Amino acid sequence: MLRLAGARVLDERDLIDVRGVFDNDPVAACMVAARVEVAGLDPWRLGGEMWGSDSRPLRGRVDGLCFSGPNLIPLKGSASAMRMFADRARRRGRMCSSLVGPAEQVLTLWDELQPDWGPAREVRGDQPLMAISSSPKVTPDPLVRQVRPSELSRYLPAAISMFIEEVGIDPCAEDGGAGYRARVSELIAAGRAFARFEHGEVVFKAEIGAMSSRVGQIQGVWVRPDRRGEGIGTAGTAAVADRLIRVLNRTASLYVNGYNHVAQASYRRIGFEQVGQYATVLF
């Protein structure tokens, strides 16, 4: 039976095609690949829906791919595919806190959605996507280590400060911080939160936010304000990247705001190179 071209919810029968998209650009796809590798394409286990689009009336290779969950993440597709995803997103209603991913797809999709979902709180259209797969050029900080579950109360204030600086809102505003505390606790329990402690206080922190079978994405890099400019952030980030590369056998990646020239210079000193371009629309 023929069906009209458009966006559809993918299922396990589409898994080979979806993995092909991930394999084509594993760094850009890390956030979504990490979920799919664990949960497959079942929406309940995945925590969202994987949408596909193709221009042909029969099931086959997808021409466009977009994850719709806590974030809306378009990974692949032409302007036509983004229109299809926008139509489906409008019908479903906005359920995401941001639109993030490869800049071409994100900004094209946002052009379609802006009349209904706008205005955005902020549009960050220039976010270099960077990666490193060999030993860092900077000596990793030996004092950066995994955060222990018992250290949550000491780590959390630094995580909150980072979030406010980076996103511009207080993660504790809506529910007293219960949801954010739970997310940070999960990262610590998984061994993916790292910090340098001095006199019991965090002076550097970072996390491995998403980790697929090939790539780990570093997020939440933060240095206590009174210790900035000392190289702590560079050596600390090198320590997290080094762990991803040597211990976990992954490529280390991150994305950074284009206007943050200091951070970009730091990452380049470590050995990160730009491999793509991201964009984020914050609601």
Instruction: Determine the pLDDT at residue 250.
Output: 98
Q: Same structural domain for residues 178 and 101?
A: no
Q: Comparing 58-72, 116-130, 173-187, which segment has the lowest mean pLDDT?
A: 58-72
Query: Do 112 and 15 have their domain in common?
Result: yes
Q: Does 151 share its domain with 243?
A: yes
Query: Are 110 and 149 contained in the same domain?
Result: no
Q: What is the domain range of residue 59?
A: 7-119
Whether residue 103 has pLDDT greater than 60: yes
In the block, tokens 């579950």 appear at 149
Distance in angstroms (rounded) separating the CA atoms of residues 21 and 76:
8
Tell me what the pLDDT averaged over the chain comes to.
94
Amino acid 2: pLDDT: 38
pLDDT at 39: 96
Alpha-carbon distance of 203 to 197, in angstroms, equals: 6
Cβ–Cβ under 8 Å, residues 130 and 256: yes
Q: What is the pLDDT of residues 140-164, one digit of tens each?
A: 999 999 999 999 999 999 999 999 9
Each residue of 233-267: b (16+ CB within 10 Å) or e? bbbbbbbbbbbbbeeeebbbbbbbbeeeeebbebb
Question: pLDDT at position 57, please?
Answer: 52
211 and 268 inside one domain: yes
Contact, 91 vs 82, CB < 8 A? no
Tell me the per-residue pLDDT of 39-72, one tens digit each, with 9 for 90 and over.
999 999 999 999 998 755 555 578 899 999 999 9
Number of domains in the chain: 2
pLDDT of residue 97: 92
227 burial level (CB within 10 Å; 0-12, 13-18, 19+):
middle
- Asked whether the predicted pLDDT for residue 106 surpasses 60, the reply is yes
- Considering the domain architecture, whether residues 205 and 108 belong to the same structural domain is answered as no
Cis peptide preceding 119, ω within 30 of 0: yes
pTM above 0.85, yes or no: yes
Residue of 65, 38, 50 lying closest to 213 (CA atoms): 38
Residue 108's pLDDT is what? 98
114 and 149 inside one domain: no
Place of tokens 């505390």: 181
Is 277 a residue whose pLDDT tops 70? yes
Same domain as 157, residue 55: no
In a domain, 153, yes or no: yes
Residue 132 lies in a domain: no
